[in-house]
Amino acid sequence: MPPIKKYLLTPGPTEVPPEVLLEIAKPVIHHRTPEFSAELDRARQALKPLFGTREEVLILNSSGTGAMEAAVCNLLAPGEEAIFVNGGKFGERWGKILNAYGIVAHEIKVEWGHPVEPEMVEQFLARYPRSQAVFVQASETSTTAVHPVETIAEITRRRDVLLVVDGITSVGVFEQKMDEWGVDALVTGSQKALMLPPGLGFIALSERAWRKAAQISTPKFYFDLKRELKAQRDEHTTAYTPAVSLIRGLNKSLELIHRETLPAVFGRHRLMAEAVRAGARALGLELLAARAPAPGVTGILAPQGIDGTKVVRMMRDEMGVSVQGGQDHMKGKLIRIGHMGYVSPFEMLVAISALEIVLSRLGYRFPSGVGVAAVQNVLARSASI
Ligand SMILES: *Cc1c(COP(=O)(O)O)cnc(C)c1O
């Protein structure tokens, strides 16, 4: 039996603070009321600094993928061309969504764990000059690497090409400057850094993205962002019944985030990532994304001869510490520790301690406690705790 206290240290869903859970547990209110309108307006306003935008942030009832789909079907028409970065499972998903809508999608294949080279984006734009948009992840959760969104935006904003960014493990984890960088669409979901249960998607569009959206007549109904903008901005309500309880929870979580302050939230994520990476290195383990590791999730390669799937299962079933393994060809080879949202830097001690104990039981040899000591040293040196 796992211990009574469990730790959800996966790259989504993540733990939800008790204050947020209590808010969600309150009686449901009707959504066509001044009370709900005030909740909706407040949440949409408080989201803007996390996106780094003054544009409207729209709230959708869906997981993050719904917001990704909304970006595709509102910005492109069947037969149009686009470029997408496939550096992992979520990049691959951009390709699948683009295909589903009949968009001619040109794939930049990136080795797992690596960031895309901005020159590749430039080359693809030269090779496929009819491309109307570039799709990328800010943080590719499946490989735990970050892509250089700011640099890619320098390329796209000089051209008549939209940059669409999946910020699902980036918004609320590290700084996003949508307006300043020139990102045209930024999407996220509720169950990662926003400290909520799954169920909400979010999307913000730039001015030029809204202009493009105005010309597009791709068949869609539920995810019609023009309809949704009119409802949320002008009528202070949603087009259809919103996830009222989650939106109230969202206001609470945004209150917690802004009370901590965004720079402190970003600093905490950096510190947790640094601590876990130090712990892994001290254990003689390598990172999948050593060159550009994500601040919200760390991918540690399982030692030779040790099954990563087993490591993840033992950590969860015997110690109550949930982390995640690798997907596709990294199945059994990768251990992904999530450190996003409602997580204290001290929980990195828990993660690395559980990992140490399991690895040791599976026969991997190292001086006991070196990983934990490395985590503690990083925490002890930090000025912020
Ligand atoms: C989790 C995640 C998604 C998928 O979101 P769902 O909420 O599962 O639909 C997409 N992109 C990235 C980068 C993610 O981390």
CA of 237 to the centre of ligand 1 (A): 26
Q: If you take atom 2 of ligand 1, which residue's CA is the nearest one?
A: 168
**pLDDT tens column, 55-70:** 999 999 999 999 999 9
**Å from CA of 191 to ligand 1 middle:** 9
Q: What would the mean pLDDT of 348-356 be, rounded to a whole number?
A: 98
pLDDT band at 4 (very low <50, low <70, confident <90, very high): confident
For the Cβ of 168 lying below 6 angstroms from any atom of ligand 1, the answer is yes
pLDDT digits (tens, 9 = 90+) for 175-224: 999 999 999 999 999 999 999 999 999 999 999 999 999 999 899 999 99
Q: How large is the average pLDDT for residues 107-123? A: 98
Which of the listed residues 141, 170, 188 should we mutate to test ligand 1's pocket, taking the one with most ligand atoms within 8 A of CB? 141
CATH entry, 7-13+262-381, from 3.40.190.90, 3.30.310.80, 1.10.3720.10, 3.90.1150.10: 3.90.1150.10
Per-residue model confidence as pLDDT tens digits over 131-184: 999 999 999 999 999 999 999 999 999 999 999 999 999 999 999 999 999 999
Say if ligand 1 is within 6 A of residue 190 CB: no
For the Cβ of 322 lying below 6 angstroms from any atom of ligand 1, the answer is: no
Mutating to test ligand 1, I would choose from 69, 168, 170, 196 the residue with most ligand atoms within 8 A of its C-beta, which is 168
Atom of ligand 1 nearest to the CA of 139: 13
pLDDT of residue 265: 98
CATH class given for the domain over 31-258: alpha beta
CB of 141 closer than 6 A to ligand 1?
Answer: yes
Q: What is the mean pLDDT of residues 116-144?
A: 98
Q: Does the pLDDT value for residue 2 go beyond 80?
A: no
pLDDT over 90 percentage in the chain: 98
Amino acid (one-letter) located at 147: H
12 pLDDT band, cuts 50/70/90, is very high
Q: Give the tens place of pLDDT for each residue, 305-316.
A: 999 999 999 999
User: ∠85-90-91 over CA atoms, to 5°?
Assistant: 10
Would you say the CB of residue 181 lies under 6 angstroms from ligand 1?
no
Confidence of residue 348 (pLDDT cuts 50, 70, 90): very high
Relative to the CA of 11, which ligand 1 atom is closest? 15
Position 26 confidence tier, pLDDT thresholds 50, 70, 90: very high
- Residue extents of the structural domains in the chain: 7-13+262-381, 31-258
Mean pLDDT of the chain: 97
The stretch 318-347 carries a mean pLDDT of: 98
